[in-house]
Amino acid sequence: MALGTDGAKTFTRDTNYISDRITTDGADGWPVEPGRYRLVVARACPWANRAIIVRRLLGLERVLSMGVCGPTHDVNSWTFDLDPGGLDPVLQIPRIKDAYLKRFPDYPRGITVPAIVDVPSGGVVTNEFNQITLDLSTQWGEHHREGAPDLYPEALREEMDEVMHRVYTEVNNGVYRAGFAGDQTAYDAAYDRLFAALDWLSERLADRRYLMGESITEADVRLFTTLVRFDPVYHGHFKCNRSKLTEMPVLWAYARDLFQTPGFGDTVDFADIKSHYYEVHRDVNPTGIVPKGPDLSDWLTMHGREALGGKPFGDGTPPGPVAQDELVPPGHGVS
C-alpha cells in the first residue's frame, strides 16, 4: 500500500521481478532448449493463466512442461498440493518458494507465479510475467506447433504495446487497485479508472472482433483473464460493482467468444479461482467463505461475434485437444 498524492491509501503492485529471459541466442545465459525448463503456474492466478493460454495456443506443451500449484497459499508461497505427496513430480519440491531460494538463497521479494524453473539446477529463471508470454511467441518459434497463431505480429506491435499497457494499468491491475484500496478516496478513484477503461474497451470492440482487429493476439489473452474472473470474483470480492460483465453487452459477448475458442475456456478453473481469492484474501473476506454463485452456464451461450468476421487464428489453426494430464478437473469449469 502506498500513499497517493492526495494522501489516499492506494494499492501499488511490486513490479520488481526477476528479469532474466530465455532467448534463442541465450544472451542472459538461458538458451531455448526443449525439455530444460518447467513453467510453474496456478490456475487461480490471472497472470499465470495468461502463460497457460499462450503455451497452449502455440503448442509448446511437448517442449515446456508445466507444474500446477493449488489454489491457495500461505506466507511461504504457492504449494504443489494437487500432486501426489504434495511434491511437484519433476522438480520434487513442495512449494515454488524452494526454486526461488535454490537460485537466490536470500530472495527478498514476493514469490509469484507464473515462474519458469531451470530443471537441471532447480532454480527459478524468471517470474517476469509480461515478458514470459511475449518470449514464448518470439523466442520459441522453432518449437511452435504447425498452424500456431502469431500472437505478437510485428506490424502491430507499437499499437499493441500501447493497448496492452492500458489494459494492464487500468483493468488487469485496476481491479486489484479497487479491491485493496486502503480508504474511500483510493477506492473511488480506482473504481472510476477501471470502469472508464472498460467503457473504452467496449467502444473499441463494438465494431472489431478482437482488440487488434480480425485475429486473436496477446492483447486478447491479457484482457480475457481479467474478464473471466470479473463476475465470480472482482464484482463482489473487489467491489467492482458498477456492472457485472454479463451487464456489459459488448464485453460479455467478446469474452464468451474467446471462452468458446480452443485454448481459452479449456484452461479456466472457476473452482480454483474462487477458492484462491475468497480463502486467501482474509483481509478482504475475513470468514474465508467461498460463494456458491454465480451461475456460469451462460459462458456457453451464443455470442454473435462471428458476424464481425475475422479469423480467430489468422492464417493458423486451433490447438488440438487438451492433454489428458492437463485437463481442468471435472466440475471446475463449465459443461
Per the annotation, binding residues are 78
- Distance, CA of 251 to CA of 261 (rounded, Å): 15
Amino acid, single-letter form, for residue 261: T
**C-alpha cell read off for 178:** 479497487
DSSP three-state, residue 193 = helix
124 in Cβ contact with 18 (< 8 Å): yes
Phi-psi region of 117 (alpha: psi -120 to 50; beta: other; left: phi over 0): beta
Q: Which of 37, 45, 234, 240 is catalytic?
A: 45
Cell 517442449, residue?
63
- Distances in whole angstroms, Cα of residue 1 to Cα of each of 185, 191, 212, 241, 321: 14, 17, 34, 22, 42
Query: Which residues share a beta bridge with 9?
Result: 3
Q: Are strands 65-69 and 37-42 parallel, antiparallel or unpaired?
A: parallel
Q: Are strands 115-118 and 123-126 parallel, antiparallel or unpaired?
A: antiparallel
93 in Cβ contact with 66 (< 8 Å): no
225 in Cβ contact with 49 (< 8 Å): yes
Residues annotated in a binding site for glutathione: 78
The set of residues, in sequence order, having a beta carbon less than 8 Å from that of 117 and lying 6+ positions away, is 37, 38, 40, 67, 91, 96, 99, 123, 124, 125
Cell 526461488, residue?
100
Cβ atoms < 10 Å from Cβ of 184: 10
Task: Tell me whether residue 240 is one of the annotated catalytic residues.
Answer: no
Comparing CA positions, the residue from 248, 203, 204 lying closest to residue 227 is: 248
Task: Tell me whether residue 176 is one of the annotated catalytic residues.
Answer: yes
Q: Which of 37, 100, 152, 176 is catalytic?
A: 176
- Distance, CA of 41 to CA of 49 (rounded, Å): 7
Residues catalogued as catalytic: 45, 176
